[in-house]
Amino acid sequence: MPWAFSSSSTVRAADTRPLVEDEGRYLNYPIFTFDEQKLFETYRIVMKAGSALSTQPHMKGVVEYVTVFSGEVDITVAGDQVRLTKGDSIRFAADVPHAYQNSGEETAERLEASLRAAGPVTELLKADPDPEALLRAALPGLALEVLEKRPIAYRCDCSRERMERALISLGREELRAMIDEQGSAELTCRFCDNVQRFSREELEALLASC
């Protein structure tokens, strides 16, 4: 008899949609997205052979935990590189430039978790809405020099056309499987939460254009 938990959250693999990078070779499947109370998030990353992703420094205090479940992944942190293979793990401060690369001939898969120590951005802004105060909280110990100030505007350059290109970049095999298994697709912009839905007919049209 299965256990029943009153305060549990279950994420089914079939319900997750990947964030696509590197022309469809780097797939980021959100598992538990960032929680402002727990300051924690987890992702399942699938890297096809030859795929790579470079990341700018995160906020001060962010720590990443990575475990490789299959294949091999080269991780570069602040210029230092280490190769992880199946079963290997690494923990590092992610407030420096870092990058991931699959130099092998097989697809690599890893679990990535991030822990943020700077505190929720929402709470920081509630305490002091001054952007300079937020910078001081995110970059403790650094002397800040304000060079320019500009009005803040919330906008995103995502579009349905860009999401169509992302679907096409998955390739004919994965697009065919998506049509056969799901019958439709729903993509959400990771920046502005814009949602675009694609019917079976629209996916078939994209498949035909590959």
At 100-136, the pLDDT tens digits run 999 899 999 999 998 776 566 666 677 777 777 777 6
Among 52-56, 138-142, 155-159, 206-210, the minimum mean pLDDT is found in: 138-142
Q: Where are the beta strands (DSSP E) in the chain?
A: 19-21, 26-35, 40-47, 52-55, 63-70, 72-77, 80-85, 89-93, 98-101, 108-115, 185-188, 195-198
Q: Where are the domains of the chain?
A: 15-115, 160-209
What CATH homologous superfamily does 15-115 map to? Jelly Rolls (2.60.120.10)
For 160-209, CATH gives 3.90.1280.10
- 43 pLDDT more than 70: yes
Mean of pLDDT values over 151-177? 88
The pLDDT of residue 1? 40
Mean pLDDT of the chain: 85
Q: State if pTM tops 0.95.
A: no
